[in-house]
Amino acid sequence: METFAQSLVSGVLTGALYAMIGIGLTVVFGVMRIINLAHGEMVMLGMFGAFWSQKLWKLDPFVSILVWAPLMFVAGMLLYRLLLRKIIPGGELNTLLYTAGLSLLIANLALFAWTGDYRTISLSYGITPFRPLGIAIAVPLAVAFVLAILITVTLWLFLSRTDLGRAIRATSQNPEASVLMGIDVERVAMVTFGLGTALAGAAGVLLAPSLYLYPTVGELLIVKCFVIVVLGGLGSVPGAIAGGILLGVVESLGAVYVSGTYKDGIGFVLFLAVLLYRPSGLFGAGR
């Protein structure tokens, strides 16, 4: 029972971070109908951002989010403006291949610059876990969880309460009608892409103390990310949250009760099953 509670808790904690990565991808998909294959590399950049700001500037990784999230936001907007905007009219598959190329480029530039070594971030407060009700929780993971929830709630408020947020949701529901309502869809797309990139980068910063860092980690993350958004329905933010937590829990329980080696496989089988039988997601929210 204790093992169950333990793996459930750590699954939920990791799942919240997965969810954040998923939200970034799903928001971009909702507005632009792009599946950004380079999304995992954005997370990787966030992770390395946290690593280097600790290494070089002695900055706490969780504080460095204040630097990296805005930076990634701007980078994402520029990326959309300068590169992606010209590709999107060429169709979904062109964009898919283009972002695949981008992902190769970023991952291997990082590999070239930082080598393939596995790195870790060690935190002074990360050594002893705290134990509420006898369940051990790693402090960095708990901090990341709280911050992830904070960011997600802020995002939710932004999307539901502000004009720009409403414009994003409107474009995601019906681009043609949004144009007719006087929404600058170009600008919405640019901001959305920046937002998606910033979320990925922020999630990377938060994940960095809990995972191994290496330049091709994006490969692993992007596949998880697809599982999440497909579980929740592509384009749906609540779906991505549920999908992320579900995947975190399934992986964590699977590792304990099924087998460590096939742990990642469970996610993929789940993914294929959902893709085939409920392509709009478990909750029917996506498109």
Partner 1 sequence: MTRRLLPALLGVAVLVAIPLSIRNSFFLHVCILILMWTVLGAAWNVLGGFAGQVSFGHAALFAVGAYTTIILYLKGGLAPWWGIPLGGLAAALVSVPIGLLCFRLRGPYFALATLAVAEIVKLVALNWESVTAGSVGYLITTLPPVRLFGLEVNWEGKPPFFAAAAVLAVVALLTTGWLRNSRLGAYLVAIRENEDAAEAVGIDTVRAKVVTLALSAFLAGMGGGFYAFYFRYVDPDAVAGIGLSMEMVFIAVVGGLGTVGGPLIGAVFLTAVAELVRDRFQMGHLIFYGLFMMLVIRFMPEGIWGRVRRLTPGARTGG
Cβ atoms of 54 and 64 closer than 8 Å: yes
Q: Cβ of residue 194: shortest distance to partner 1, in angstroms?
A: 20
Residue 239, token pair as written in the block:
């779906």
Q: Cβ of residue 255: shortest distance to partner 1, in angstroms?
A: 14
Question: Is 257 near partner 1 (CB under 8 A)?
Answer: no
Cβ atoms of 102 and 203 closer than 8 Å: no
* Residues 213-242: x where in contact with partner 1 by CB under 8 A, - otherwise, as a string: ------x---x--xx--x------------
Cβ atoms of 228 and 247 closer than 8 Å: yes
Beta-carbon contacts of residue 138 (< 8 Å; ≥ 6 apart): 126, 129, 210
Return the residue of 3, 66, 101, 153 that touches partner 1, per CB under 8 A: 101
Residue 232, token pair as written in the block:
């929740």
Residues 202-237: b if buried by 16+ CB within 10 A, e if exposed = bbbbbbbbbbebbbbbbeebbebbbbbbbbbbbbbb
Question: Is 258 near partner 1 (CB under 8 A)?
Answer: no
Q: Which stretch binds partner 1 (CB under 8 A): 13-21, 106-114, 121-129, 173-181?
A: 106-114
Neighbouring C-beta atoms of residue 172, cutoff 10 Å? 24
Residue 264's φ and ψ, nearest 5 degrees, are -65, -30
* Residues 19-58: x where in contact with partner 1 by CB under 8 A, - otherwise, as a string: ----------------x-----------------------
* Residues 141-180: x where in contact with partner 1 by CB under 8 A, - otherwise, as a string: ----------------------------------------
Provide the binding-site residues for partner 1, judged by CB under 8 A.
35, 83, 86-87, 90, 92-94, 96-98, 100-109, 111-112, 116, 219, 223, 226-227, 230, 261-262, 264-265, 268-269, 271-272, 275-276, 279
